[in-house]
Amino acid sequence: MVCAAPALSISILLLQLLIVAEAGVPTHGAGPVVPAVIILGDSIMDPGNNNQIPTTVRSNFPPYGVDFPTHKATGRFSNGKIASDFLASELGVKETLPAYLGTKLSAQDLLTGVSFASAGTGFDPATATLASVIPMRKQLEMFAEYEERLRTLVGEEKAASIIAESQFVVCAGSNDVVQFLANPLNNRTSKGIANYSKFLMQSNSRIVQDLVGLGARAVGVVGLPPVGCMPAQRTLVGGIHRKCAHQSNELAQKYNRELRKEANRLTAKLQGTKIIYLDIYSVLLDLIEHPKAQGFEESKKGCCGTGVLEAGVLCNSLSPPCSNPSQYVFWDSYHPTERANKVMVDKVVKDYLHFLQ
């Protein structure tokens, strides 16, 4: 249940914000950097779309949302805001990015973007089917529907301009890694892992190219995090000492190398577009291996319950959370805390600023 980064899905959106900041121009109060933020992905970016579909992959119950502005569980897999919220906020667009489904979207909501992300999904259609969630291809169809609503609202020319100037983020793949390696019928040798990583990259590439065909011109593609170092993977695969799961990280790293090359290839091929690969593997791994450097105390367990396995329905009112989530990198056994999401967004912005200078 972790996007290309338990969270860390972070995007080129913020990069443009930093350029404004570098110039000494105030970011908040000076108008939005981009007209809209549009997200496709999994639980790291899902603000509640899964609340509207028949699936058990949900988080619309306590203790999720305990630190959200309303102190209510919205369907975000965190104690508070998630990465997509921070992206929209830092770009001056809005403080939180709403779910496309189940939200009474106002005209302003439509004009400034939404998230189509669905917790539990992946680039492999089988992953979404297994979890009964929204496949990436369906999210693309939902975006096309959204685009039509935008045209009805402001006209074809203005809608096309908004889409072209907006920042898109595609963030998924962690669920694919977990499901692939959990299935004993899959070829989990180095060759099998290499083949599957290439399959995931190609699936991601097709989604990005279809977004460009629908008018997108700036897309941040988020690489995978160190999936094997998530608390649940440590518990299930890491042995008695709960070490990071080697094969999960191997698959993530192979996929990231392929995706980086593909992002560069697509940018060269698709004239007038900018496809930027965002490496969040090293960002999250640094938090996990050196938590105290960023003011965290715990990086191998989640805040919810025992912290070793609870996530989704297992993280509930019977699994009391830790007293201070801000000291934890992970909220549950798969997803970052609000503070960890913020720290990672800030870090990625800094690391990728040079791509837009």
Catalytic residue among 166, 174, 333, 335: 335
Catalytic site residue from 9, 43, 84, 166:
43
Rounded Cα distance between 40 and 212, Å, is 13
Whether 346 is a known active-site residue: answer no
Cα(269)–Cα(273) distance, integer angstroms: 9
Return the percent helix, strand and coil in the chain, to nearest 5: 50, 10, 45
Residue pair 352/12 in contact by the 8 Å Cβ criterion: yes
Q: How far apart are CA 62 and CA 316, in angstroms?
A: 6
Query: Cα separations (Å) of 309 from 34, 45, 148, 173, 231?
Result: 39, 21, 42, 20, 7
Sign of CA dihedral 273, 94, 147, 176: positive
Q: How far, in Å, CA of 328 to CA of 10, rounded? A: 19
Q: Which phi-psi region, left, alpha or beta, contains residue 288 (left: φ > 0; alpha: ψ -120 to 50)?
A: alpha
Active site annotation includes 332: yes
Catalytic residue among 85, 166, 332, 333: 332
CB burial class (10 A; 0-12, 13-18, 19+) of residue 286? middle
Q: Clarify whether 28 is annotated catalytic.
A: no
Alpha carbon separation from 211 to 130, 186, 187, 317 (Å, rounded): 25, 31, 32, 40
| The two structure tokens encoding residue 311 | 């996530």
Residues annotated as part of the active site:
43, 332, 335
